[in-house]
Amino acid sequence: MINEKLQEAFNDQINKEFYSEYLYLAMKVYFQELNLQGFVNWFDVQVQEERAHAIGMVDYLNNRGGKVELRAIEKPVVEGSTPLEIFEQVLKHEEFVTLRINHVMDVAEEVKDRAAMHLLDWYLKEQVEEEATAGGVLATLRLIGDDKKALLMLDKDLAARTFVAPVIG
């Protein structure tokens, strides 16, 4: 059985992971409209990762005898109107998600649920990677500035990203 406060924190985080999936899907559409297929691929992988993160928590909560509550997913808002601005938002969003997972970890610590802490450790490590990946693309976009040729080269690089189903936990 899982503590109720921790169950609530997991349910809230499940919703945030599904929101992330939805947000990145909206960003994928933005790049589809620009016909930047490498960026499209990058976001496609991101969408799949977020879905895996969400389902990982759904399955975990279920395995622990908790009650999964699927809540309404907010309409995603893409704030930027350039690739640079979009990636600023991606990094900001990942930093926010890290904060939220830290919060779930705080609750797990408070109720002394070591098994949950172990799982959340995985999510926190994943966040370090997520921030680094988004930050890397953002740094390149800053270097690129208005250089369209360089943007197309980056697009080519991003086409190489592949989705590898994460082993969570």
Nearest to 27 by CA among 54, 50, 55: 50
**Least separation, in Å, of the C-beta of 150 and ligand OFO?**
26
Q: Which is nearer to ligand OFO, 8 or 95 (CB)?
A: 95
**Least separation, in Å, of the C-beta of 17 and ligand OFO?**
5
Residues 1-60 that bind ligand OFO (CB under 6 A): 17, 20, 50, 53
Compute how many residues bind ligand OFO; rule: CB under 6 A: 7
Residues 95-134 that bind ligand OFO (CB under 6 A): 97, 130
Rounded CA separation 82/98 (Å) = 25
**Least separation, in Å, of the C-beta of 68 and ligand OFO?**
17
Q: Which 8-state DSSP code applies to residue 67?
A: -
Q: Which of 94, 104, 105, 107 binds ligand OFO (CB under 6 A)?
A: 94
Rounded CA separation 169/162 (Å) = 21
**Least separation, in Å, of the C-beta of 167 and ligand OFO?**
15
Sequence-distant (≥ 6) Cβ neighbours of residue 118 within 8 angstroms:
169
Rounded CA separation 28/90 (Å) = 12
For tokens 């994943």, the residue is 126
| Binding positions for ligand OFO, rule: CB under 6 A | 17, 20, 50, 53, 94, 97, 130
